[in-house]
Amino acid sequence: EAQVTQNPRYLITVTGKKLTVTCSQNMNHEYMSWYRQDPGLGLRQIYYSMNVEVTDKGDVPEGYKVSRKEKRNFPLILESPSPNQTSLYFCASSLARETYNEQFFGPGTRLTVL
Protein backbone atom coordinates (compact mmCIF):
# COMPACT_ATOMS: atom_id res chain seq x y z
CA GLU A 1 0.00 0.00 0.00
CA ALA A 2 1.31 3.43 -0.98
CA GLN A 3 1.77 5.46 2.14
CA VAL A 4 3.70 7.95 4.22
CA THR A 5 4.51 6.75 7.71
CA GLN A 6 5.62 8.78 10.70
CA ASN A 7 7.01 7.71 14.04
CA PRO A 8 6.26 8.23 16.78
CA ARG A 9 2.62 9.22 16.52
CA TYR A 10 2.64 10.79 19.98
CA LEU A 11 5.56 12.12 21.96
CA ILE A 12 5.87 13.98 25.24
CA THR A 13 9.31 15.31 26.05
CA VAL A 14 11.06 17.98 28.09
CA THR A 15 12.77 21.16 27.07
CA GLY A 16 16.22 20.65 25.63
CA LYS A 17 16.09 16.91 25.09
CA LYS A 18 16.99 16.18 21.47
CA LEU A 19 14.46 14.22 19.48
CA THR A 20 13.90 12.91 15.98
CA VAL A 21 10.61 12.30 14.22
CA THR A 22 10.97 9.88 11.36
CA CYS A 23 9.15 10.01 8.05
CA SER A 24 9.24 7.35 5.38
CA GLN A 25 7.45 6.94 2.05
CA ASN A 26 7.27 3.92 -0.23
CA MET A 27 6.23 5.67 -3.45
CA ASN A 28 9.70 6.59 -4.73
CA HIS A 29 8.80 10.28 -4.43
CA GLU A 30 11.53 12.86 -4.90
CA TYR A 31 9.82 15.67 -2.98
CA MET A 32 9.26 15.49 0.77
CA SER A 33 8.18 18.13 3.20
CA TRP A 34 7.44 18.79 6.86
CA TYR A 35 4.56 20.92 8.14
CA ARG A 36 3.43 21.92 11.57
CA GLN A 37 -0.23 22.50 12.38
CA ASP A 38 -1.27 24.92 15.09
CA PRO A 39 -4.79 26.03 16.02
CA GLY A 40 -5.82 29.12 14.09
CA LEU A 41 -2.70 29.01 11.92
CA GLY A 42 -3.38 26.08 9.62
CA LEU A 43 -0.38 24.14 8.32
CA ARG A 44 2.94 25.87 7.81
CA GLN A 45 5.89 24.39 5.98
CA ILE A 46 9.04 23.82 8.03
CA TYR A 47 11.50 22.30 5.56
CA TYR A 48 11.33 20.56 2.24
CA SER A 49 13.55 18.38 0.10
CA MET A 50 13.58 18.14 -3.67
CA ASN A 51 15.70 14.99 -3.67
CA VAL A 52 18.49 13.17 -1.85
CA GLU A 53 20.93 15.62 -0.24
CA VAL A 54 18.81 18.60 -1.39
CA THR A 55 16.95 20.39 1.37
CA ASP A 56 15.70 23.93 1.89
CA LYS A 57 13.89 26.04 4.43
CA GLY A 58 10.17 26.51 4.40
CA ASP A 59 8.27 29.24 6.19
CA VAL A 60 9.05 28.32 9.81
CA PRO A 61 12.45 26.53 9.93
CA GLU A 62 13.80 27.98 13.19
CA GLY A 63 14.61 25.31 15.76
CA TYR A 64 14.46 22.41 13.30
CA LYS A 65 16.90 20.42 11.20
CA VAL A 66 16.33 17.85 8.49
CA SER A 67 18.41 15.46 6.46
CA ARG A 68 17.78 13.48 3.29
CA LYS A 69 20.36 10.72 3.00
CA GLU A 70 17.99 8.27 1.35
CA LYS A 71 15.14 8.94 -1.02
CA ARG A 72 12.51 7.27 1.13
CA ASN A 73 13.36 8.92 4.50
CA PHE A 74 13.15 12.52 5.67
CA PRO A 75 13.63 12.80 9.44
CA LEU A 76 12.82 15.97 11.37
CA ILE A 77 15.29 16.78 14.13
CA LEU A 78 14.71 19.04 17.10
CA GLU A 79 18.13 19.57 18.65
CA SER A 80 16.86 21.45 21.70
CA PRO A 81 13.07 21.39 21.80
CA SER A 82 11.19 24.24 23.43
CA PRO A 83 7.54 24.50 24.52
CA ASN A 84 6.69 26.65 21.47
CA GLN A 85 7.42 23.61 19.33
CA THR A 86 4.49 21.79 20.86
CA SER A 87 2.42 21.08 17.77
CA LEU A 88 1.02 18.52 15.36
CA TYR A 89 3.56 17.64 12.69
CA PHE A 90 2.85 16.25 9.24
CA CYS A 91 5.22 14.79 6.71
CA ALA A 92 4.23 14.80 3.05
CA SER A 93 5.66 13.55 -0.23
CA SER A 94 5.06 13.87 -3.94
CA LEU A 95 6.75 13.42 -7.27
CA ALA A 96 8.84 16.43 -8.23
CA ARG A 97 7.86 17.41 -11.71
CA GLU A 98 6.78 20.81 -12.95
CA THR A 99 3.25 19.66 -13.56
CA TYR A 100 0.99 18.97 -10.65
CA ASN A 101 1.66 16.01 -8.42
CA GLU A 102 -0.61 15.11 -5.56
CA GLN A 103 0.98 15.49 -2.19
CA PHE A 104 0.44 12.57 0.17
CA PHE A 105 0.37 13.22 3.89
CA GLY A 106 1.39 11.06 6.79
CA PRO A 107 -0.91 10.49 9.79
CA GLY A 108 0.75 13.15 11.93
CA THR A 109 2.90 13.25 15.06
CA ARG A 110 1.57 15.05 18.09
CA LEU A 111 4.50 16.51 20.04
CA THR A 112 4.28 18.04 23.49
CA VAL A 113 7.33 19.79 24.94
CA LEU A 114 7.13 20.44 28.67
Partner 1 sequence: AQSVTQPDIHITVSEGASLELRCNYSYGATPYLFWYVQSPGQGLQLLLKYFSGDTLVQGIKGFEAEFKRSQSSFNLRKPSVHWSDAAEYFCAVDPILTGGGNKLTFGTGTQLKVEL
Q: In the complex, which residues of this chain contact partner 1 (CB under 8 A)? A: 30-31, 33, 35, 40-45, 48, 50, 58, 90, 92, 94-98, 100-103, 105-108
Closest CB to partner 1 among residues 61, 108: 108
Least separation in angstroms between CB 35 and partner 1: 8
The distance of closest approach from Cβ of residue 31 to partner 1 in the complex, given in angstroms and rounded to an integer, is: 4
Nearer to partner 1, 40 or 62 (CB): 40
Which long-range contacts (C-beta less than 8 Å, at least 24 apart) are formed by 105-110?
A: 105/4, 106/3, 106/4, 106/5, 106/6, 106/23, 107/4, 107/5, 107/6, 107/9, 108/6, 108/9, 108/37, 109/6, 109/7, 109/8, 109/9, 109/10, 109/11, 109/21, 110/9, 110/10, 110/11
Task: Closer to partner 1 by CB, 53 or 79: give it.
Answer: 53
In the complex with partner 1, which residue's Cβ is closer, 13 or 105? 105
